[in-house]
Amino acid sequence: MSEVILISILVLFSAVLQTSTGFGFSIVATPFLLFFFEPREAIQINLILSLVISCVLIAKIRQDVDFNILKRFIFGSAAGLPVGIILFLILNMTILKLGVSLLILVLTLLLMMKFHVKKTNTRDYFVGGISGSLTTSIGIPGPPILLYFSGTNTQKETLRATTLAFYLWIYAVSLLIQIIFAGTTKTVWTSSGLALPILLVGMVIGQLLFRRINQQAFRICTYIILVFTGVTLFIKSWEW
């Protein structure tokens, strides 16, 4: 019973974070899901629940999606996905995770010091490619996009909507790859189904919070998520 309560709280908090910012479910949920499930199951549950959030919300926030940037992200990530698989196969995961964690922390520090980036089509493709490669190598696509959008002072509505739309693509492809190459289990789908009511409650709360968060508070939330990601990756790199 205690495990069910802990998992419910985890899903609720992660759903609130994802719905209110566009980021955070994978970052928060995956490390803790690994305490209760096998790695393959934890990753697939995360992918399924993240997809549900994107599918439910996208109809409501479609008008805020920047489709031009989204298309460039998708094309870039399509090139990055196989690169990530290659990196996963040939690189030491400790070194890869350590390098990514330090890069995230350094770039976040630069953003906090008011470092800005100018949007260009080439950079859109590049960021999409990095996101795709991180998805298939370490399972975390969000940080490159969050860093890019934060550095270009993107409005919170566009940031959240475009990110969630991108997740529809990247998580669907990743889940398909997982099922084809790693298989799946009944536990994955049963646990995901049982988590849906809590997930939906978290989405309602997250939507209410999003309406009350101003641009400055939203930016602070993104910095916190990025720092949490970098520190978590740094710690997990030594546990591989």
pLDDT in tens, 193-203: 999 999 999 99
- Give the pLDDT mean for 2-18: 82
pTM for this model (two decimals): 0.78
pLDDT in tens, 121-132: 999 999 999 988
Mean pLDDT over the full length of the chain? 83
Of 58, 68, 96, the residue nearest 172 (C-alpha) = 58
Q: Where are the domains of the chain?
A: 2-237
Q: Residue count of the chain, please give it.
A: 240
**What is the structure's pLDDT at 123?**
93
pLDDT in tens, 156-215: 888 888 988 998 888 888 888 888 877 889 999 999 999 999 999 999 998 888 888 787
